[in-house]
Amino acid sequence: MSWELDIKGLIQPFGALKFTVKQPHTLNYPIEKRQEVIGYRGFHLNSLSLCVGCGNCQDICMNEAIDMVEAVGVINSKNASGLVPRIDYGRCCWCGLCTDVCGPDSLRLESNCIYASADANSFLYMPKDC
């Protein structure tokens, strides 16, 4: 029985050393922030001064992530129902259909999408007034 020296097998593991000098493709998140992307689908914004409370966003939502709740604070005088949308981000898939059907264009998506919480009820989110 004869043994052969496998040179390629001995040298190949040292090929991984080239990755010690390469820069990573990821961000060091808490320190470095990602640049904003135009048209990115993040959290919802709702101009309460424009919202008429029609409920089209609730009707179009295929995941039933939007329900209409009683408005608190300043609302549009044309909002006859007195209701504004509330989004459940546990169900939302950020498809943007709700913003497409919004007649007065009061509902839109911002670029911020980072949110973490241990409380499941905190994902029921009233869109920020812009």
Q: How many CB atoms lie within 10 A of CB 74?
A: 8
Pick the CATH number of 27-125 from 1.10.3720.10, 3.80.10.10, 3.30.200.20, 3.30.70.3270: 3.30.70.3270
β-sheet bridge partners, residue 44: 109
Q: How many CB atoms lie under 10 A from the CB of residue 60?
A: 15
Segment 18-30, tens digit of pLDDT = 888 888 888 887 7
pLDDT > 90 fraction of the chain, expressed in percent and rounded: 22
Q: What does the alpha-carbon distance between residue 68 and residue 106 come to, in Å, rounded to a whole number? A: 14
Tokens at residue 20, please? 């010690």
Nearest to 87 by CA among 111, 112, 107, 72: 107
- Going by pLDDT thresholds of 50, 70 and 90, the confidence category of residue 130 is low
Domains of the chain: which residue ranges?
A: 27-125
The CB density around residue 81, as the number of other CB atoms within 10 Å, is 14
- For residue range 44-58, what is the model confidence (pLDDT) as tens digits? 988 888 888 899 999
Calpha distance 57→35 (Å, rounded): 29
Task: Determine the pLDDT at residue 77.
Answer: 80
Report the sign of the C-alpha dihedral through residues 36, 41, 42, 45, in that order. Answer: positive
pLDDT at 8 over 90: no
pTM: 0.67
